[in-house]
Structures are given as C-alpha cells and as structure tokens.
C-alpha cells in the first residue's frame, strides 16, 4: 500500500511528469499507472497469499469465491490508491496525507473483502458470497469511472 503512493511522486520529483503531460493523453497515463500498480499488487499477492495460507494453516473451502474476492478487491484497492497517489503527488506532505486520504476510501472494499474471505473459509459455494462480489464489482466500476473522469483535472494542475 505504501509503495503505491509513490507511483506519481517519483514522476514529479524526477522531473518526468512534465514531458509525460506533453506527450501522452491523461487517460493513457492513468491507465498505465493503474495497470502497473495492479501488476505489482498481483505479484505481491501471489507471494503473500500462499505463504499466509501455509504458515497460518488457514484452509479455504470456497477457492473460486476466494480468488474472485482477491481479484475484484485488488482492482478496487489499486484503482482508489492510484487516484489518491495522483492527488498526493501535488502536495507537500505526501506520505502522511496518502494514509489520511486513502483510508476512508479503501475501507468499504476492505470490509467487503474480509467478509468474502470469511464466507470462503467455510462455504464451498461461489453463490454464498454473491453479495460481496456484487459490492466489490460495483465499487471497482464506480471507482475506475470516477478516477478516469477526474484524473484530467488533477494531472493538469
């Protein structure tokens, strides 16, 4: 999570933000950042999740539900934190502000993902977590749409 906040800060500090603003459309920049952050999240999850399951001897009954929660939860977390990172990169107090701004936005998908994981631990059926998946997919859609609509203003500032 803390790594994600750096994605725009490094561009601003390294002086690469201005050329990027000149050459690439804002939507392309945001898409690139969201995708690279999602890949990063995916790689981290691919290491951490099996390790956690093995070390905590935590058994998952509903593997499809668990994977769906990981996927859609990850997309929501990645999209929201990328957008907050873009805002934070323009301010003086970057790291501290990122935590303050991101926490309330990330809690709804986090709470839903925790609930989904709890259901997946005991119930093998995918349909048992349908509400959770629906909520996560809705959040992902809303967050991505809002981020693409608003990114233009933040990026050009």
Partner 1 sequence: MGVLSRVAQGILALAMLAVIWGSFLYAKPAANFIGESSRIVFYHVPMAWIASLAFLLAAGYSALYLKRRRVEDDEAAAGAARLGILFCLLATVTGSIFARVMWNSYWNWDPRETSIVLLLLVYGAYLGLRGAVEDPERKATLSAAYALIAFVTVPFLMFAVPRMYASLHPDTVINSSGKIQMSSDIKLVFFSSLAVFTAVFAWMYALDRKVSRIVREAALAEEGAVAR
Residue 38 or residue 133: which is nearer to partner 1 going by CB? 133
For residue 59, the SS3 value is coil
Residue 21 or residue 90: which is nearer to partner 1 going by CB? 90
Q: Which of residues 80-109 bind partner 1 (CB under 8 A)?
A: 80, 83-84, 87, 90-93, 97, 100-101, 103-105, 107-108
For residue 24, the SS3 value is coil
Burial-class residue 88 by CB neighbours within 10 Å (0-12, 13-18, 19+). Answer: buried
Q: How crowded is residue 20: how many other Cβ atoms within 10 Å of its Cβ?
A: 14
Dist CA 107 CA 60 (whole Å) = 23
Regarding 34 and contact with partner 1 (CB under 8 A), the answer is no
Q: Which of residues 113-132 bind partner 1 (CB under 8 A)?
A: 115, 131-132
**Binding-site member from 43, 48, 63, 146 for partner 1 (CB under 8 A):** 146
Regarding 21 and contact with partner 1 (CB under 8 A), the answer is no
| Total number of residues shown for the chain | 157
Task: Quote the least distance from Cβ 46 to partner 1, whole Å.
Answer: 27
CA distances (Å), origin 71, targets 40, 113, 137, 149: 13, 10, 10, 23
Q: Which residues bind partner 1 (CB under 8 A)?
A: 80, 83-84, 87, 90-93, 97, 100-101, 103-105, 107-108, 111-112, 115, 131-132, 135, 138-139, 142-143, 146-147, 150, 153-154, 157
């Amino acid at each position: 999570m803390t790594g994600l906040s750096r994605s725009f800060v490094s561009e601003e500090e390294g002086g690469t933000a201005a050329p990027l603003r000149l050459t690439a459309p804002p939507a392309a920049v945001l898409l690139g950042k969201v995708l690279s952050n999602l890949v990063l999240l995916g790689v981290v999850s691919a290491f951490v999740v099996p390790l956690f399951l093995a070390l905590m001897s935590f058994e998952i009954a509903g593997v499809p539900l668990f994977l769906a929660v990981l996927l859609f939860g990850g997309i929501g977390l990645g999209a929201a934190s990328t957008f907050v990172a873009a805002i934070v990169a323009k301010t003086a107090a970057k790291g501290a502000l990122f935590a303050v701004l991101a926490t309330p936005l990330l809690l709804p998908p986090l709470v839903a993902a925790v609930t989904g994981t709890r259901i997946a631990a005991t119930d093998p059926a995918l349909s048992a977590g349908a509400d959770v998946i629906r909520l996560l997919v809705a959040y992902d859609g809303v967050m991505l749409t809002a981020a693409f609509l608003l990114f233009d203003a933040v990026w050009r500032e």
